[in-house]
């Protein structure tokens, strides 16, 4: 395979300026991640200690194999929402290794609002279940939750993708033969009681773990009966009398050991084979990506510079290099796994769309995972292009992306605007995972363009009414809030808070994240895919 030769001057001023700016963004990101993991009220910490419980981090440390990766999912979900303290939507979730087996772990954090479930918490749990199902990863749940956060119950309970869906998914996952192991480490109240109940294995910690449909306050209100949580749904009750729980645990640490033991007994999964070879690092330091990405999102740059810092040995076999040059397509290896990769080098034209369609179709037929590096302002517009059929060529690309059944992975490395988001496998196109870089922006169009469009629509209205166009100060008054809100609602943190993605990445870690994700995705079989596509408009 050919080696990408970087054209970047790592000693130049531009590089240094870019680097410093990205460094700032990454440092901020790391600080946010740290805060989400660590910022807990003193009261909650004290309460947790008094109950003799481990923190979520301590539970994870005991559960996961030592010195193995932990790919956290949506660690900044719900960031800035509610009172700003529902870190990670109240849960820690991620893919880790237990007894050599890749698993999805989902843990309530009782030190955040008593582990109560917020609307974004439901969304995150559902997202984890989707990941578990798509990638055939056993799901380990560490339950410690006071149940739904009642003031927001209307956003949690009734709709198709609300609380009920969690238990529906659990049943479906069971049918799909995806192992589910639950450790009851605190309260599992009402709906929460179904999480263990619907699992294959339930480990129950005595003294702190309790499962009941109605907790003591509800029982008191309904029947006047005075009962303790332990007596109502403790480990002794459920392991000895009701049979709701399967394994009696003395404490959290014991429970984590039991979950590990159970995981070790799960049938082994033969990972799907994709073409592989020995992994090797890129020739260029992935951290140089910091200096490659221009400060302004509108400044174009060659996505091959990113590939050179992601791909094994910086090697890349480019497909149709001379055709449709605004989209770079080709094959490479990441951590030893062959992938087909698509990266934007400008807006999508008819030729680049057709090239993408062919490339995606090739990878799909050959069973090669697809990686999309999104930095796209959309498809080309204008009279000439509409006449050239850009819409039907764009359609082909969107169709191919939609129907491709190989694992797809998307990283938004810059702009993600308009239908470009669709063609390049946005969240709606079911990539197995989607991440953003901290500099990325997402929206129907860029803030500037949106503002221009609105001003021009307004002027059209005025013209139709026979009035003069807007004076320039009025134009500014219209433009400013549009640009501001496009930024506020289009930046990476807004996206990740809303779970439009699975997390924000340090660009330098993109290679490792892709390697981990591709490898994890292979837990699901590639053999019995429903390959093929519908009708292409020609």
Partner 1 sequence: MFSKILVANRGEIAVRIMRTAREMGIATVAVYSDVDADSPHVIASDEAVFLGEADPSACYLNVEKIVAAAKHTGAEAIHPGYGFLAENPVFAKAVSDEGLVFIGPPAEVMEDLGNKTVARRIMAEGKVPIIPGMISCEADVDRLCSAADEIGYPVVVKAAAGGGGKGMRIVEARKDMAEAVELARSEALTAFGDPTIYLEKCLDRPRHVEFQILADTRGNVIHVFERECSIQRRHQKIIEETPSPALDEDLRERMGAAAVAAARAAGYVNAGTVEFLLDGSGKFYFLEVNTRLQVEHPITEMITGLDLVRSQIEIAAGQPLRFSRQDLTRRGHAIECRIYAEDPEADFMPSPGKILFMRSPEGPGVRFDHGIQTGYHVPVNYDPILGKLVVWAEDRPAAIERMIRSLRECVILGVKTPIEFLIEVLSSEEFKSGNTHTCFIRDNCAAWKPDRGEDALAAMGFVAHEMAAPSFGTSTDESSTKSGPSSPWQTLGAWDLAR
Task: Kindly list the residues in this chain that would bind partner 1 in the complex (CB under 8 A).
Answer: 30, 33-34, 37, 65-72, 75, 97, 99-102, 268-273, 276, 278-281, 283, 335-337, 503, 505-506, 509, 512-513, 515-516, 519-520, 522
How many C-alpha atoms does 466 have within 13 Å on its Cβ side? 0
Cβ atoms of 298 and 360 closer than 8 Å: no
Residue-by-residue DSSP string for 319-363: ESTTSSTTEEEEEEEETTEEEEEEEESSSB-HHHHHHHHHHHHHH
Report, in Å, the least distance between residue 39 CB and partner 1: 13
Q: Characterize 250-288 residue by residue with b for buried, 16 or more Cβ atoms within 10 angstroms of its Cβ, and e for exposed.
A: ebbebbbbbbbebbeebeebebbebeeeeeeebbbebbb
CB closer to partner 1, 378 vs 503: 503
CB closer to partner 1, 6 vs 361: 6
Report, in Å, the least distance between residue 12 CB and partner 1: 21
Cβ atoms of 151 and 104 closer than 8 Å: no
Q: Which of 239, 241, 264, 263 is nearest to 249 (CA)?
A: 239
CB closer to partner 1, 107 vs 202: 107
CB closer to partner 1, 47 vs 99: 99
Q: Please identify which residue in the block is written with the tokens 């005595």.
A: 206
Report, in Å, the least distance between residue 358 CB and partner 1: 27
CB closer to partner 1, 336 vs 388: 336
CB closer to partner 1, 53 vs 337: 337
CB closer to partner 1, 85 vs 280: 280
d(CA 2, CA 316): 6
Report, in Å, the least distance between residue 96 CB and partner 1: 9
d(CA 336, CA 384): 44
Report, in Å, the least distance between residue 401 CB and partner 1: 26
CB closer to partner 1, 358 vs 519: 519
Q: Which of 63, 199, 72 is nearest to 139 (CA)?
A: 199
CB closer to partner 1, 25 vs 520: 520
Q: Please identify which residue in the block is written with the tokens 């805060």.
A: 35
Structure token pair of residue 315: 């090697």
Report, in Å, the least distance between residue 80 CB and partner 1: 18
Q: If DSSP states are collapsed to H, E and C, what string results for 377-392?
A: CCECCCHHHHHCCHHH
Bridge partners of 270, per DSSP, are none
CB closer to partner 1, 132 vs 449: 132
Report, in Å, the least distance between residue 516 CB and partner 1: 5
Report, in Å, the least distance between residue 503 CB and partner 1: 7
Report, in Å, the least distance between residue 476 CB and partner 1: 40
Report, in Å, the least distance between residue 67 CB and partner 1: 5
Residue-by-residue DSSP string for 154-210: HHHSSSTTSHHHHHHHHHHHHHTT--EEEEEEEEEEGGGGHHHHTSSEEEEETTT-E
CB closer to partner 1, 132 vs 245: 132
Q: Please identify which residue in the block is written with the tokens 């369609």.
A: 357
Report, in Å, the least distance between residue 37 CB and partner 1: 7
Contacts of 443 (CB under 8 A, 6+ apart): 416, 417, 450, 486, 489, 490
CA-to-CA separations, 388 to 126, 290, 349, in angstroms, rounded: 42, 38, 10
d(CA 464, CA 468): 10
Report, in Å, the least distance between residue 69 CB and partner 1: 4
> Strand 337-344 relative to strand 327-334: parallel, antiparallel, unpaired?
antiparallel
CB closer to partner 1, 116 vs 314: 314
d(CA 490, CA 484): 10
Bridge partners of 317, per DSSP, are 331
CB closer to partner 1, 12 vs 281: 281
Report, in Å, the least distance between residue 174 CB and partner 1: 23
């Amino acid at each position: 395979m050919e080696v990408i030769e970087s054209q970047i001057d790592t000693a130049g001023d531009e590089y240094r300026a870019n680097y410093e700016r990205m460094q700032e963004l990454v440092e901020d990101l790391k600080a946010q991640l740290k805060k989400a993991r660590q910022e807990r009220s003193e009261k909650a910490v004290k309460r947790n200690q008094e109950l003799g419980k481990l923190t979520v981090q301590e539970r994870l440390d005991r559960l996961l194999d030592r010195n193995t990766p932990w790919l956290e999912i949506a660690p900044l979900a719900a960031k800035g929402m509610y009172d700003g303290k529902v870190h990670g939507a109240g849960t820690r979730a991620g893919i880790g290794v237990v007894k050599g087996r890749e698993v999805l772990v989902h843990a309530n954090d009782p030190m955040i609002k008593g582990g109560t479930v917020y609307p974004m918490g439901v969304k995150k749990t559902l997202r984890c279940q989707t990941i578990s199902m798509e990638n055939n990863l056993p799901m380990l749940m560490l339950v410690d939750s006071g149940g739904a956060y009642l003031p927001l119950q209307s956003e949690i309970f009734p709709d198709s993708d609300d609380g009920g869906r969690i238990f529906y998914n659990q049943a479906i996952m069971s049918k799909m033969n995806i192992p589910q192991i639950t450790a009851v480490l605190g309260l599992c109240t009402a709906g929460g009681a179904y999480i263990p109940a619907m699992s294959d294995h339930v480990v129950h910690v005595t003294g702190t773990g309790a499962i009941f449909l109605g907790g003591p306050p509800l029982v008191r209100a309904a029947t006047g009966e005075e009962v303790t949580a332990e007596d109502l749904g403790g480990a002794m009750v459920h392991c000895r009398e009701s049979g709701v729980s399967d394994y009696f645990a003395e404490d959290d640490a014991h429970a984590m050991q039991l979950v590990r033991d159970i995981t070790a007994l799960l049938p082994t999964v033969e990972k799907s084979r994709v073409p592989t070879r020995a992994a090797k690092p890129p020739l260029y330091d992935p951290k140089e990506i910091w200096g490659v990405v221009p400060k302004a999102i509108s400044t174009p740059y060659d996505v091959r510079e990113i590939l050179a810092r992601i791909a094994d040995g910086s090697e890349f076999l480019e497909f149709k290099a001379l055709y449709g040059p605004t989209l770079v397509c080709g094959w490479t290896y990441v951590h030893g796994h062959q992938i087909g990769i698509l990266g934007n080098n400008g807006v999508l034209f008819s030729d680049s769309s057709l090239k993408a369609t062919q490339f995606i179709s090739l990878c799909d037929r050959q069973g090669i995972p697809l990686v999309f590096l999104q930095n796209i302002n959309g498809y080309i517009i204008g009279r000439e292009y509409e006449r050239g059929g850009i819409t039907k060529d764009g359609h082909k690309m969107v169709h191919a992306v939609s129907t491709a059944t190989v694992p797809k992975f998307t990283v938004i490395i810059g702009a993600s605007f308009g239908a470009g988001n669709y063609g390049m496998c946005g969240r709606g196109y079911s990539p197995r995972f989607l991440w953003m870089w901290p500099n990325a922006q997402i929206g129907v169009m860029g803030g500037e363009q949106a503002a221009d469009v609105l001003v021009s629509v307004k002027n059209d209205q005025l013209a139709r009414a026979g009035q003069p166009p807007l004076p320039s100060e009025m134009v500014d008054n219209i433009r400013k809030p549009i640009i501001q809100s496009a930024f506020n609602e289009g930046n990476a943190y807004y996206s990740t808070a809303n779970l439009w993605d699975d997390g924000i990445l340090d660009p330098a870690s993109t290679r490792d994240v892709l390697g981990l994700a591709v490898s994890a995705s292979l837990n699901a079989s590639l053999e019995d895919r429903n390959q093929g596509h519908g009708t292409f408009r020609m």
